[in-house]
Amino acid sequence: MREDEVQLIVVDAANVVGSRPDGWWRDRVGATRRLLEQLATSGAGLGRPVEVVVVLEGAAKAALTDETKPDFENLRVLLADGSGDDAVVGAVAAAAEQYGNRSITVVTADRELRARVEAIGADTAGPRWLLARIDS
């Protein structure tokens, strides 16, 4: 299967983690790790063949350690140097440039981020869309 036939899903991890009132604020790293684990094991729940890119920023970057990297090998995790939103936009722009007709969906509830990625051709979905597909 060609890369441009595989849907790209870019996940704004901070936004998705923050959408669940499950006490994530007491353990941001643990909540992020749980999201990564769910995404790593739920490929079938996402429909057609997908590539999942998860953007981590700030303290949540500690969820990806040398010990956890093998657990998430079917995910591409981007550690944002600065703004997570800028890293999401960068990932979308790079994919759009490389594969102009590739289906790209960004998962976030952030209106400003939605507008930025839609301007470069991505679709958007809210955290509920993703969580409905990965929660077990």
List CB contacts of 87: < 8 A, sequence separation 6 or more. 55, 57, 78, 80, 81
The per-residue pLDDT for 44 is 47
Distance CA 71, CA 63 (A): 12
Distance CA 68, CA 15 (A): 21
62-79 confidence digits (pLDDT tens): 998 877 777 777 789 999
Out of 19-23, 90-94, 103-107, 119-123, which region has the weakest mean confidence (pLDDT)? 19-23
Mean pLDDT of the chain, nearest integer: 87
Residue type present at position 115: A
The domain segmentation of the chain, as residue ranges, is 3-134
Name the nearest CA neighbour of 9 among 115, 122, 136, 86: 122
Q: What is the pTM of this model?
A: 0.89
Read off the pLDDT band of 123 (50, 70, 90). very high
In b/e form, how buried is each residue of 38-71, taking b as 16+ CB within 10 angstroms?
Answer: bbbebbeebeeebbbbbbbbeebbebbeeeeeee
For 25, the token pair is 């604020």
Q: In degrees to the nearest 10, what's the CA dihedral of 18, 88, 62, 67? A: 120
15-65 confidence digits (pLDDT tens): 999 888 777 778 899 999 999 988 988 764 566 678 899 999 999 999 988
Domain 3-134 adopts which CATH fold? Answer: Rossmann fold (3.40.50)
